[in-house]
Every structure is written in structure tokens, then in C-alpha cells.
Amino acid sequence: MGLTSHKLLALVGLLAVFTVLGTLWVWPRLAVRSWPAMFLRLGTIALTQLALLATLGLAVNDYFVFYSSWADLLGHNHGRAVIQGGPATPGVGATGTPGASGTPGGPAPGVQVLGKAEVTGTGSESRDPARIGRIDRVRIPGPSTGLSTDGYVYLPPQYFQPGFEGRRFPAVIVMTGFPGDATNLVTKLRYPATELDLLRNGTMKPAVLVLMRPSPSMPRDSECEDIPNGPQAQTYFTTDVPQDIRASYRVSTGPNSLGAIGDSTGGYCALKLGMVHPQVYSAVVSLSGYFKAAEDITTGDLFGGSQQRRDEADLNWRLAHLPAPAVAVLLADSKEDGSTYADSKAFAAAARPPLTVAQATVDAGGHNFTTWNRLIPPSLGWLSSHLADPA
């Protein structure tokens, strides 16, 4: 019986009901002063609690599809994704100068380096940046929006190697789900280590990774939206973040110099930023992302009561009612991830030029790190093929 089977949920739910009723029936018979009776009472309490927790866990998993199968729960799914559809667009060369200055009279753009982080999972004992790259722990301020968030910047080995001293690199904005923690992008989803692996086997060109949360207005979930009379999160990602990283690192400013990838809320944000601002983010990847802005207690009122704003934050509505943007999109999902896979297939089928949509899928897996770890390597390789070469 499958982990997400409704029959399993019903069976465990009935078991929980019977354990509660059984405890009520047997309790008077155990109301005697003896060690065996005491241990039996504790056993009935433990069994009842276990059955109730199992029912609650299955119900939550059934709704969110964190784990799609027993193999997924036990970590037995290891196959990588296969990308289908969508023409490959070779990256073009990029040249340019550092980013423009900040808002007149305001603070100049630039990343604040807070310290260093270890590049883990590389299979190398070396700490030489020219061999494994470097991770900076950073704060990314918003000169134009007043927003800020902490994260990490991964500089690939080529950034420090002879022959690359004057070159500028494409950059990829990597976003967690909400609320998320940027540290997970380094330690659990292993983006820097994965890029290093891909660089070593020649399936990715070097790129700077900017690893961060999708909301610069924590604890509020801004859904990468410019909120009326609220946080201007979309402007933060399309103006402040590019200016900051270009002012502090050798990041390209030309065409196809920025991409974005994210999981869950981060996937929605990456796709949204690409569709609304294709001149900034020319290639984007959504890992199990959704297509319509969430509205709940964490978001508050995102649209100021405007139905037009709400529609424009619905990416399916944009696809149906607005001109198609010139952006390359990869939708990466598990076929078992609830309605996400079906929604991705429908979005891809509705796409029209100049928008191009490819899909990367794995047969099994839920809405979790295990699944995304299988999708990230081909996704980074795909992104690299759509971004500029270091120049």
C-alpha cells in the first residue's frame, strides 16, 4: 500500500479510533496498584499517541506530498532527471562594466561580506580557491528598496585561476522555499559542490551562485511581489540584487548574464522573475514550483485589493493574456509530486514563442530535498547552456 494511498490513511485513521476506544474500554480493568498494570497503562497511552501521530503525519504528507512513496521516505530514490523539450539556446558572449551606482543620494550598491563558509562535499582535501572555489557569507542590501537578506555567494575555481583574472562570469540567483534557510542551499542541496562536480566533468560552464531566501521581508512571505504600501520584493530581486553582485564581484552585465533557480516558493519566484523581467533573468528553473502567488497568514494582503495585480501574479493568467516573454524556462518536477507535475505539463503545453519551456522529471519522489538533489545537476547544466560564457 503506497505512502500517499488514501486507503492507508483511512486504515491508520481507523486504527487510531480503535486504539482510543480500546484504551477507554480497558482502562478500568488496569486501574489496580501493580507494576504490570502501570506498564500496561503506559503502553496503551503510547500506542494511542503513536496511532494519532501516524494519522496526522500521513494526512499532512497527503496534502503537501513531502514524500511520495516508501522508497522516497527511506531515501532509496537516486536516479537523476531527464530533460525533455525546449530548444537549447547557446549562451552568447557578455562584456560590460561594473553595475551602476545606487539611487542618487542613497547608499552605493554592494554586497557586505560577513565571513567565509566551507565548500563541503567536494571529495577534495584542498582548500585552495583555485581548485574548489570559495563561499562568502554575505548580506545583500537593497539601496533602492531598503530591503536586505543574508545568504552566500559561491565563486567557482576559474574565478581565481590564471587566465581568468579580467573575465566576468554569469551569475545564478538560487532561492530556497519559504521560509527556508540559505544554509540549506550549501549543506543539504549542495549547490556549490554540485557546480564543482559539473565543472570537473565538463557539463557546466563556470558561474557565480548567489544563494538566498525568496523573501527579503522576513518573517513576511512577499512572494517576490512589489506590494502596495509594503515591501518591494520584486524590485529588490530585479534591481538591487543584480547591482549588488555586479558592484562586488566580476559578474557580467551583458545579455544572458543572469539566471535564476529555486524550489517551491523559490521556484515560483524564479519563474515569475523571468516572465515579468526577461531582460534581467533570461533563463530560469522552477523546482517543484507553483504558478500562482500564495495568499495566507504569512503573505498578508499582497495586492492591495487589486484583482489586476492578483491576475498578473498568476503565471498561467499571464501566459494566456499577455505577450509571451523571451525567456527560457525549465520546469523540474517529480511525477509523484501532487498536482505540480500536471500543472507543469499544462504550462509547457500552453507556452508559445518567444517563451521556450523544457521539462526535467524523475519518476518518483515528493516535495523534498531528496527529490531536488536529483533534479539540481541537470538543471544547473541546462541553465549553463542558456547563459553567457565568462568573458
Closest by CA position to 76, among listed 378, 337, 364: 364
**Residue 318 falls within a domain, yes or no?**
yes
**Residue 1 falls within a domain, yes or no?**
no
pLDDT digits (tens, 9 = 90+) for 199-231: 999 999 999 999 999 999 999 999 999 999 999
| 301 and 374, same domain (yes or no) | yes
Q: What is the DSSP string of 36-92?
A: HHHHHHHHHHHHHHHHHHHHHHHHHHHHH-S--SHHHHTT---PPPEEESS---PPP
DSSP-assigned beta bridge partners for residue 153: 136, 210
Q: Which three cell numbers stand for residue 34?
A: 501493580
Rounded CA-CA distance 189/184 in Å is 6
Q: How far is CA 284 from CA 126, 199, 295, 304, in A?
A: 32, 20, 23, 28
With 60 as the cut, is the pLDDT of residue 67 above it? no
The reported pLDDT for the residue numbered 68 is 46
Rounded CA-CA distance 179/385 in Å is 30
| 104 and 33, same domain (yes or no) | no
| 122 and 28, same domain (yes or no) | no
Q: Residue 148 is part of which domain span?
A: 70-386
Region 35-58: mean pLDDT is 86
102 Cβ contact list (under 8 Å, min separation 6): 108, 109, 143, 144, 243
pTM assigned to the model: 0.77
| 59 and 89, same domain (yes or no) | no
With 60 as the cut, is the pLDDT of residue 369 above it? yes
Nearest-10 crossing angle of helices 369-386, 191-200 = 50
| 330 and 348, same domain (yes or no) | yes
Residue 140: exposed, middle, or buried by beta-carbon count in 10 A (0-12, 13-18, 19+)?
A: buried
Rounded CA-CA distance 54/73 in Å is 14
Count of domains observed in the chain: 2
| 144 and 284, same domain (yes or no) | yes
| 192 and 157, same domain (yes or no) | yes
**DSSP type of residue 309:** H
pLDDT digits (tens, 9 = 90+) for 2-29: 665 678 878 888 988 989 888 888 888 8
Tell me the Ramachandran region of residue 64: left when phi exceeds 0, alpha when psi lies from -120 to 50, beta otherwise.
alpha
| 60 and 88, same domain (yes or no) | no
The reported pLDDT for the residue numbered 83 is 57
The reported pLDDT for the residue numbered 312 is 97
With 80 as the cut, is the pLDDT of residue 355 above it? yes
Last residue of a domain, one of 25, 49, 64: 64
- Give the pLDDT band (50/70/90) at residue 85: low
| 199 and 150, same domain (yes or no) | yes
Rounded CA-CA distance 322/311 in Å is 11
Rounded CA-CA distance 123/54 in Å is 38
Region 76-102: mean pLDDT is 43
Rounded CA-CA distance 213/174 in Å is 8
Q: Which three cell numbers stand for residue 148?
A: 536586505
pLDDT digits (tens, 9 = 90+) for 274-320: 999 999 999 999 999 999 999 999 999 999 999 999 999 999 999 99
**Residue 142 falls within a domain, yes or no?**
yes
Rounded CA-CA distance 384/391 in Å is 14
Higher-confidence residue of 338 and 223: namely 223
Q: Which residue has the cell 480500546?
A: 22
Q: Considering the chain, what percentage of its residues have pLDDT values greater than 90?
A: 66
- 3-state class (DSSP) for residue 258: strand
CATH code where residue 343 lies? 3.40.50.1820
Q: Over the chain, what is the mean pLDDT?
A: 87
**Residue 189 falls within a domain, yes or no?**
yes
Q: Which residue has the cell 547557446?
A: 90
Q: How far is CA 349 from CA 226, 280, 338, 391, in A?
A: 29, 25, 19, 35
| 237 and 382, same domain (yes or no) | yes
pLDDT digits (tens, 9 = 90+) for 227-252: 999 999 999 999 999 999 999 999 99
**Residue 391 falls within a domain, yes or no?**
no
| 238 and 143, same domain (yes or no) | yes
Nearest-10 crossing angle of helices 35-64, 6-26 = 160
| 90 and 13, same domain (yes or no) | no
